[in-house]
Chain A
């Protein structure tokens, strides 16, 4: 079965973004990265554990009327390294990119060190350097292992809006 057919299982969108080939089980974390908690007015559809030739099982997230910021893409690359980002305009894919692992991510992630200055009430976005098996806070040096990165996503989007 091709991926194109599978995409039909989730309703089509007119304008927005389809994040495909998300590592199975990570769809809700993708929503957290986007700061989507159901309180806003975005139309969102999610496919979870969709059979995939490439990944075995994958998740798909479709968001109407929304494109991703670079920070969002950077964090996405940590939890779903195989993800592809499709920009949709008028039901057509106008741009398709694979996420790329970056050397650092800003915003979105929260430092687990409560005594880190980024957790105080300061006008600063978090910043983490990315290395082979995790990320490290550029301010206090605390390391978050790759498997724990999803837990550090600031679901309230504070990391993003603090500035």
Chain B
């Protein structure tokens, strides 16, 4: 699968995942700079909606591999604004590059785009759909800190709209991981995600409070609950407040707990947690570079 495109974490086997993570680990141990094996390779960055960090992370990865990036620029300044279809846009751009990264506001856009191009395409987020490179860097961070087998992971916050969460939960079904989902009733995992997890053999354990599962967790993955998910400010404040963590909240946790967050955060993790060894969210963000280097290296046919 990985020799083609990367559209969805759900398509990744355990072997695919481990191939990327192992490669990322060797990139990391060799120092992230100067893997100049892709001199002359060009990566096209096609961002139909802004996501500066993801774009910078891919740019950094490609440049550290010795390659170059070209950028479609903003949608406002491109042919897309004149009504060009996505299928046409990617067919033009594929001629300029050896691989492409696509971020697009519609679900399924990456799958559609991949059907029209021959160069490897990486989905960097399709609407509320998939964002598999984020999933890979999450898995990498979990593996580095807690291992990926025989662990218990709690995923907390907005589980309804959070695609990061959906992809991660899918991917974790490839490993011996017990998963707990902690969210307000109104933001629990959607039916199709529960169905998939169930099909993949996972037992979906849902909770409305963190206290009941916290002591069991090796990893706590926190996501942001957004204001716009609630009709009223008051309701939002009441709900969001219950899913905020600080050192007090974490006092019952395992001493080696790994706390993760896809960032940006607002106030769901108190800054005091940053100072503790548990805080791994900045490391997680930094891991985007070696993981994307590994991914691009594999997709561009680097030596295996």
Contact = CB atoms under 8 A, between A and B. Distances in A.
A141 B111 CA distance: 11
Contact of B86 (A116, A122, A136, A137): A122
Q: How large is the interface on B (under 10, 10 to 19, 20 to 34, 35 or more residues)?
A: 20 to 34
Interface string A137-158: 1111111000000000000000
A120 B113 CA distance: 13
Contacts of A120: 85-86, 106
B112 interface: yes
A118 B192 contact: no
A117 B192 contact: no
Given A115-B128, A141-B129, A142-B192, A124 B106 contact: no
A124 B112 contact: yes
B191 A140 contact: no
Given A115-B127, A115-B128, A140 B87 contact: no
A127 B64 CA distance: 39
A123 interface: yes
Interface residues of A, number: 18
A143 to B, nearest CB: 5
A11 interface: no
Contacts of A118: 108, 112
Contact of A143 (B106, B128, B192): B192
A41 interface: no
Interface string B104-120: 11111101100100000
Interface in B86-124: 86-87, 104-109, 111-112, 115
Given A116-B106, A116-B107, A136 B192 contact: yes
A117 B48 CA distance: 13
A139 B191 contact: no
A116 B86 CA distance: 13
Contact of B111 (A136, A139, A142): A139
B191 A143 contact: yes
A90 interface: no
A113 interface: yes
Interface of B: 83, 85-87, 104-109, 111-112, 115, 126-129, 191-192, 195
